[in-house]
């Protein structure tokens, strides 16, 4: 069973998320969506922990209470819409929570304690002042959370094509493993494994023993040799998808040295080849950089109508 935590609001930035999820999981009954909306309460977190939900609700002001009621209505309508599209009622759970610790903190807490497989967010186009003062919920979740994959849905996604940048890092295998687990029963998605040979692409061969704990020595010794000279750009990710049962006739290889750096190449592919989802592993060093830094930053800043999955 796959469990997806979907952080939603009744705003333009989040309205395309349900459509994307219905398209991705249509006809699949081993997935549960937990639609979660957080109403921020400007009170003491310490006092909130001593109250039960009904008592907290009683402390809300008129504006907060109205928002809480509106969120309840929105989530009820959202569940009805999914059921109308063929999903079972027990596949859709909803909750409006009240938190004084911040929206991002509440979502991460819910995701970790609920053992969810992914967090789904929308991308807000904040102005410079808003970014400085408030930050972005999506970026805060990425900055504070390195345990649960985050999917950032940006715009109206129509394509079933998935692009997976691959290299010789553990992060490539983590991203591919997550993708294979999530999409193992999808009947239409096409996956392209993309390796960049551009001028500024960073190529590093990691010691094999770094992979032993998760993948096991026998698997690593067999599959991380791969294509040549310790490079497993394509071989190991393909093996992971194969072991998840994903049909290999819908898995393709793409390698190019055109373009200056990987971020530019990915943006070009999304724009001109019509990819709807990009799945990327995140290096641990990227976590401290802040809001969508590195390649993922450039992808989200320069393309729309795409979902970016950040794993690790």
Q: How far apart are CA 133 and CA 146, in angstroms?
A: 23
Q: Which residues contact 219 (CB under 8 A, 6 or more apart)?
A: none
Q: Same domain for 200 and 98?
A: no
Q: Which residue among 136, 154, 172 closes a domain?
A: 154
Q: Same domain for 82 and 208?
A: no
Q: How far apart are CA 123 and CA 304, in angstroms?
A: 10
Strands (E), the chain: 2-7, 31-40, 92-99, 118-122, 150-154, 161-165, 190-196, 251-256, 277-281, 306-311
Q: Same domain for 301 and 198?
A: yes
Q: Same domain for 112 and 28?
A: yes
Per DSSP, 148 falls in state S
Q: Same domain for 182 and 277?
A: yes
Q: Which residue among 154, 186, 220 closes a domain?
A: 154
Q: Same domain for 8 and 150?
A: yes
The number of distinct structural domains making up the chain is 2
Q: Same domain for 242 and 274?
A: yes
> Is residue 147 helix, strand or coil?
coil
CATH number of residue 281's parent domain:
3.40.50.620
Q: How far apart are CA 237 and CA 74, in angstroms?
A: 39
Q: How many residues does the chain have?
A: 312
Half-sphere exposure of residue 124: CA atoms within 13 angstroms, side-chain side: 17
Domain that holds residue 186: 161-311
Buried b (16+ CB within 10 A) or exposed e, 170-193: bbbbbbbbbbbebbbebeebbbbb
Whether residue 274 contacts residue 305, with contact meaning beta carbons closer than 8 Å, is answered with no
Q: Same domain for 109 and 175?
A: no
* Inter-axis angle of helices 295-302 and 262-273, nearest 10: 30
Tens place of pLDDT for every residue, the chain, 312 residues? 999 999 988 777 788 899 999 999 999 999 999 999 988 766 544 444 544 555 566 666 777 788 888 999 999 999 999 999 999 999 999 999 887 777 888 899 999 999 999 999 887 654 443 343 334 677 788 778 888 999 999 889 999 999 999 988 899 999 999 999 999 989 999 999 999 886 566 667 788 888 999 999 999 988 887 555 445 789 999 999 999 999 999 999 998 877 777 888 899 999 999 999 999 988 654 434 433 457 777 787 788 899 999 998
Q: How far is CA 139 from CA 115, 142, 250, 312, in A?
A: 21, 5, 32, 14
DSSP 62-92: HHHHHHHHHHHHHHHHHHHHHHHTT--GGGE
Q: Same domain for 192 and 306?
A: yes
* pTM for the structure as a whole: 0.87
Q: Which residue among 154, 180, 198 closes a domain?
A: 154
Q: Same domain for 107 and 194?
A: no
* Inter-axis angle of helices 103-113 and 137-144, nearest 10: 50
Q: Same domain for 136 and 205?
A: no
Q: Same domain for 225 and 273?
A: yes
Q: How far is CA 154 from CA 158, 212, 286, 302, in A?
A: 12, 36, 21, 11
């Amino acid at each position: 069973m796959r469990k997806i935590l979907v952080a939603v609001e009744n705003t333009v930035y989040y309205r395309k998320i349900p459509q994307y999820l219905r398209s991705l999981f249509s006809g699949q009954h081993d997935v549960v969506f937990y639609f979660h909306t957080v109403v921020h309460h400007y009170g003491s977190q310490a006092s909130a922990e001593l109250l039960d939900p009904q008592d907290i609700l009683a402390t809300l002001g008129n504006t907060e209470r109205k928002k809480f009621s509106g969120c309840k209505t929105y989530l009820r309508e959202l569940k009805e819409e999914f059921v109308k599209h063929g999903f079972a009622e027990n596949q859709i759970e909803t909750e409006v929570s009240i938190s004084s610790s911040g929206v991002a903190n509440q979502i991460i807490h819910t995701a970790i304690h609920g053992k969810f497989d992914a967090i789904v967010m929308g991308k807000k186009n904040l102005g410079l002042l808003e970014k400085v003062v408030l930050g972005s919920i999506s970026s805060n979740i990425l900055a504070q959370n390195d345990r649960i994959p985050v999917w950032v849905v940006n715009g109206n996604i129509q394509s079933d094509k998935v692009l997976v940048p691959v290299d010789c890092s553990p992060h490539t295998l983590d991203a591919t493993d997550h993708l294979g687990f999530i999409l193992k029963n999808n009947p239409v998605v096409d996956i392209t494994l993309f390796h960049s040979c551009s001028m500024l692409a960073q190529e590093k061969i990691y010691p094999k023993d770094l992979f032993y704990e998760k993948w096991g020595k026998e698997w690593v010794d067999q599959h991380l040799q791969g294509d040549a000279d310790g490079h497993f750009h394509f071989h190991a990710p393909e093996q992971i998808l194969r072991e998840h049962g994903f049909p290999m006739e819908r898995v393709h290889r793409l390698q190019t040295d055109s373009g200056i750096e990987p971020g530019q190449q990915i943006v070009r592919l999304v724009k001109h080849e019509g990819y709807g989802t990009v799945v990327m592993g995140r290096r641990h060093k990227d976590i401290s950089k802040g809001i969508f830094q590195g390649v993922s930053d450039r992808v989200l800043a320069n393309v729309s109508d795409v979902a970016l999955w950040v794993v690790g």
